[in-house]
Amino acid sequence: MTLFKKRTLAAAISSLVMLPLAQACTSVIVGKDASASGALMISRNEDFSTNNWAKRMHVYPRKSYKAGDVITLSNGLKVPAPETSWRYTAMNDWDAYQNSNDGKVFEERGVNEFNLAMSATNSAEMNEKAQKVDPLVDQGIIEQNMTGLILSQAKSAREAVQLLGDYVTRYGAGEANGVQFADTKEAWYMEIGSGHHWIAVKVPDDKYAVIANGLRIHDVDLGDTQNIMHSKGLLEFTRKHKLLSKPDSRNFNFAQAFGKLGDLYNTDREWMGQNLLSASVKQKIRQDQYPLFLKPDQKISVTDIAKVLRSDYQGTQLKGKGKRPIGVDRTSEAHIIEMYPNMPGELAAVIWQTPSNINYSPFIPVYNVMSHVPKVYTQGKDHYDNSSAWWTFRSLGTLASPNVMEGKYKKVVDGVIDSAEHYLVKTHAYTRDMLKHMYKDNQDMAIQYASNYSNGLLQTAYDRAQFLQSELMTDLTRSTEKKYSPEEFDKIKKL
């Protein structure tokens, strides 16, 4: 094959599989009284259309704009710039600067300086009837730009819901999806169901929700303004276009009106998550809808959420039947964000972040006070790069796959990742208590310590992953050598 043909083939493959599409994510949201740590929690697997799409951690500082300034988003939508853009963190696509004039594409999650956390999005499908009467807008609000747009302006979860809703009302939505918000007081789950209609529900303090990709909000009272927010005229619009046979404002089914119920690709995962967290609640598999909120059998920890986000159907009724597991090989990153009501404001937000795929990376806790992250977490593209944390951890997954040495290294990789994560979870409470006491004596010292601690954990995790990768590659290389007889080997040594 000529060099030209090789390049042509490579280009053809890239055009088919390297499209920046976030797909099929799974989330768990937890109220503070359902949480083992007392923190509100939002979390999500970011599943992608390919398994070699690097993510980069980023910290955006505060930024001022002049009157009349406009921000042009990656899809061409122009929106007025705020007077001040708040500091926030994000998890960007590697190609953000190629696809967006402000370098903000698929930021996925983050926390801003006012302790507003956001995770966006769980993509969803509209039903044909809703699509016909309120179609999506080509140049509307979409996942690619949503996180930075909201975190740079809102100061609370409730305000964030209203701000995103106002954007959808004004500019229209380009996608149907679900979005999570949390501050130190409350968590909200929001769904955009059509070009201009949306709804959001406050997560009960003593319950949790599992979200796959279908629209999920149902059985809500539209008149309960303390716990429900929605687009103007939602009930009237639903009645006018007969999106529900008998719309009931006190028992409204947004998911049925705008979404597609009973898609096994989604409901299998919803059942799985609820089965893990509330096993005592016996539910039939493959129902069209499951309860939006449930009480857990025991208070939910970071480890419990991680188990859900990595789960498959082994040992359940869906073994061999499940349309797809929750933890998949094309999960590009996963995050669990804890918002602590009882911590000093600067130390209230902890982001448990996997550097890469959830099955081959530990959740690493970082405090939302860092001004920067280690350089290796800001590097990596769609080709292997040994100076990238994302690729280093992702390569461990490749080495652990059944295609390499018949899965010989899987047990080793799993053991190292499990051990590292167990240590981080076990020690986190002690570190948190220490920081809380330190803050009382010296606020600046506590904040600086939290920043250094977070960066240290990230760097140490990378260094250990590099060492493990080196050991496995050394063993793999050695294994490719021919097995010589003692006589042959003795001769080789003397040559």
Query: Which CA distances in Å does 232 have to 118, 348, 478?
Result: 23, 34, 66
Confidence of residue 20 (pLDDT cuts 50, 70, 90): very low
Query: Which CA distances in Å does 261 have to 127, 273, 374, 452?
Result: 9, 18, 44, 47
Give the span between the Cα atoms of 22 and 14, in whole angstroms. 16
pLDDT digits (tens, 9 = 90+) for 125-156: 999 999 999 999 999 999 999 999 999 999 99
pLDDT at residue 3 tops 70: no
Closest CA to 420 of 480, 481, 476, 463: 463
DSSP class of residue 433? H
Q: What mean pLDDT comes out for the span 182-206?
A: 98
pLDDT at 485: 82
pLDDT at residue 376 tops 80: yes
Q: Which two tokens stand for residue 298?
A: 């025991």
Helix axes 302-309, 264-277, angle to 10 degrees: 150
pLDDT digits (tens, 9 = 90+) for 54-66: 999 999 999 999 9
Closest CA to 186 of 347, 364, 35, 363: 35
User: Does residue 121 have a cis peptide bond before it, meaning omega lies within 30 degrees of 0?
Assistant: yes
Q: What mean pLDDT comes out for the span 56-85?
A: 95
pLDDT at 103: 67
C-alpha 371, offset from chain centre: 22
Q: What mean pLDDT comes out for the span 390-402?
A: 96
Residue percentage of the chain with pLDDT more than 90 = 87
SS3 assignment, position 22: strand
Annotated catalytic residue: which of 22, 25, 118, 366? 25
SS3 assignment, position 334: strand
Give the span between the Cα atoms of 356 and 45, in whole angstroms. 11
pLDDT at 435: 98
Query: Which CA distances in Å does 313 have to 286, 335, 476?
Result: 13, 21, 31
Confidence of residue 488 (pLDDT cuts 50, 70, 90): confident
* Whether the Cβ atoms of residue 291 and residue 298 lie closer than 8 Å to each other: no
pLDDT at 481: 78
pLDDT at 32: 98
Query: 208-211 and 88-93 as β-strands: parallel, antiparallel, unpaired?
Result: unpaired
Using alpha carbons only, what angle is made at residue 275 by residues 269 and 280, rounded to the nearest 5 degrees?
160
For 353-399, the DSSP string reads: E-SS-TTSS--EEEETT-S---GGGG---SS--TT-HHHHHHHHHHH
Give the span between the Cα atoms of 112 and 90, in whole angstroms. 9
Told to judge if 28 belongs to the known catalytic residues of this protein, a careful annotator would answer no
Q: What domains appear along the chain, each with residue ranges and CATH number?
A: 20-342 (3.60.60), 398-479 (no CATH)
Least confident of 9-23, 184-198, 359-373, 467-481: 9-23
Q: What mean pLDDT comes out for the span 387-406?
A: 95
Least confident of 54-58, 74-78, 204-208: 74-78
pLDDT digits (tens, 9 = 90+) for 409-435: 999 999 999 999 999 999 999 999 999
| The model's pTM | 0.93
pLDDT at 495: 73
For the chain, count helices (H), then strands (E).
Answer: 13, 18
